[in-house]
Amino acid sequence: MNEFTPFDVSRDGVVLHGRIGGRGPALLLLHGHPQTHVIWHRVAPLLAQRFTVVLMDLRGYGDSGRPTPDTEHRVYSKREMAADAMAVMQHHGFDRFQVLAHDRGARVAHRLAADHPQAVERMLLLDIAPTLAMYENTSEAFARAYWHWFFLIQPPPLPEALLASDPSRYVRSVMGGRHAGLAPFALEALAEYERCAALPGTAEAVCEDYRASAGIDLVHDREDIAAGHRLTQPLRVLWGAHGVVGKCFDVLALWRERADDVSGGTVPCGHYIPEEAPDDVVREALSFFRS
C-alpha cells in the first residue's frame, strides 16, 4: 500500500492514523476486529482508480490512539468512533462521502450514518446485522461462534490479562477459527495485525470497544428506535455464505427495520470478506458507489 500517503489526525487528544490515496469522490474504509486498515490491501488500490480512498485505524486499533477508558465505556462508544471518522474526513476536506466498512468498522459506520446523515451519502457494510438486533436475537449457535463477544465484555482485568499475555495467539485464534482458517491472510498483513495487537493498551481498548457495544451503544440504538430515526442513505449489505451472521440472522430483514433503502446478499466466503473475496468487494463497490 505504498501508493497511499500515511496521515495522523488528532481529535480531543486521540491520534487517528490512516492512509489516503487515489482520485475522485471520497470513500471512507473502516476495518474490523482484531485488524487494522491493512484489511483493505487487496481492495483499496483498485478502488483508488475511481475514488479518493481514506483508510483509518479505529481508536484502540492499529496505530491510532488508545484513550483511557471511563466507567460508562463512552470513550469507546461507536458514537465517539463515528466522530473520529468525521474529524478525519473533514481534515481532508470532505464534508460528504461514501463508506465501505467491515465488522466493527461497519458498526461505526452505522452510527456515523445515524448521527451525521448529512455527511454519509451511501454505505456498503460487510458481514453484520444491526448490533442491537444481534444481541436481542442471540442463539446458542451464535454465542458459541461469536464467543469473543461475551468474553471481552466481562469485567476487568481478566479479559485484558488473557489478551495481553499472548496477543499473537489471540489474533491467530480468532481469525484462524473461522471458515477458511488463516489461509486467506497475507503473511505481511497477519504480521501487522500481530504487531498492533501487542502495542501497549490494545488489550484494554479492545475490551472497552466490546463493552461499549454491549452497553452504551445499545442505549444509543434504542434511543434512535424510540425516536423513529431511520437510516435514509442507500445501504447495501453483504455477508459471507460460509459465515455465521447469515446463518443466525435474517440480515436484510433486520436492516430493513432500521433503514429505508436496503439491498444485498451473500458472497462466497466466510467472515473476512475483504481478504477472502476482494474481487467481489470491488465489483459490488463499483456497482453501488457513485463515482
Positions marked active-site = 103, 271
Amino acid identity, position 137 = N
Cα 52 versus chain centre, distance: 19
Strand ranges in 63-152 using DSSP code E only, listed in sequence order: 97-102, 120-126
Crossing angle of helices 167-176/158-165, nearest 10°? 90
Cell 436496503 belongs to 262
Q: Are 73 and 211 in contact (CB under 8 A)?
A: yes
45: left (phi over 0), alpha (psi -120 to 50) or beta: alpha
> Could you tell me the three cell numbers for 50?
475511481
The CB-side HSE value for 213 (13 A sphere, CA atoms) comes to 29
Tell me 259's DSSP state: B
The answer to whether 234 touches 264, Cβ cutoff 8 Å, is no
